[in-house]
């Protein structure tokens, strides 16, 4: 299985002048950076190393019609989700821009270029909320405008 969806933490969209911003270095922030590096290098094993075995991988229910909504549980649920994405989309690149850390949470603001199966690409904003415990991510919630995303998928 490959992870082609997300760019490296340091990668930014060519139209963006500023590099991603972090609120300060910490073990939690470093862990989330490893997750984005794993996404970029398509390294499922490295991503799973960041995630707790019982992780909750959450996406808006509005994406359920495509098999991409709701909560997936554990490493198997994450792998099933990642395998489903390329059956619905032609491609996706994430551009994380800002990292905000508070206690056991890291919130990432950014945008993604999403390509539909028909080849149309749009830029869509996202927020990723990561919850951490015991040196692993226990929850990742992807927050985005499902109406815009669905329109793109259906284009």
Distance CA 62, CA 59 (A): 8
The tens digit of pLDDT for each residue in 119-150 reads 999 999 999 999 999 999 999 999 999 999 99
Res 36: pLDDT: 86
Whether this model's pTM surpasses 0.85: no
What are the per-10-residue average pLDDT scores of the chain (155 residues)? Answer: 37 45 67 88 92 97 94 97 94 88 94 94 97 95 96 93
Res 25: pLDDT: 56
* Dihedral (CA of 84, 92, 111, 151) sign: negative
Tell which residue, 96, 104, 91, 134, has the closest CA to residue 26. 104
What are the φ and ψ backbone dihedral angles of 41, each rounded to 5 degrees? -85, 5
- Both tokens assigned to 28: 């939690």
Which residues are CB-contacts of 25 (< 8 A; sequence separation ≥ 6)? Answer: none
Which residues are CB-contacts of 76 (< 8 A; sequence separation ≥ 6)? Answer: none
């Amino acid at each position: 299985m490959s992870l082609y969806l997300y760019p490296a933490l340091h990668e930014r969209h060519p139209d963006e002048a500023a590099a991603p911003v972090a609120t300060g270095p910490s073990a939690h922030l470093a862990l989330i950076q490893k997750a984005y590096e794993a996404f970029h290098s398509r390294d499922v094993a490295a991503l799973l190393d960041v995630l707790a075995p019982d992780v909750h991988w959450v996406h808006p229910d509005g994406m359920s019609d495509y098999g991409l909504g709701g909560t997936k549980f554990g490493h198997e649920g994450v792998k099933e989700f990642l395998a489903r994405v390329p059956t619905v989309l032609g491609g996706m690149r994430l551009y994380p821009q800002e990292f905000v850390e508070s206690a056991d949470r890291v919130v990432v603001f950014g945008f993604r270029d999403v390509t539909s199966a028909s080849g149309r690409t749009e830029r869509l904003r996202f927020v990723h909320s990561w919850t951490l415990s015991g040196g692993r991510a226990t929850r990742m919630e992807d927050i985005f405008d499902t109406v815009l995303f669905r329109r793109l998928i259906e284009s």
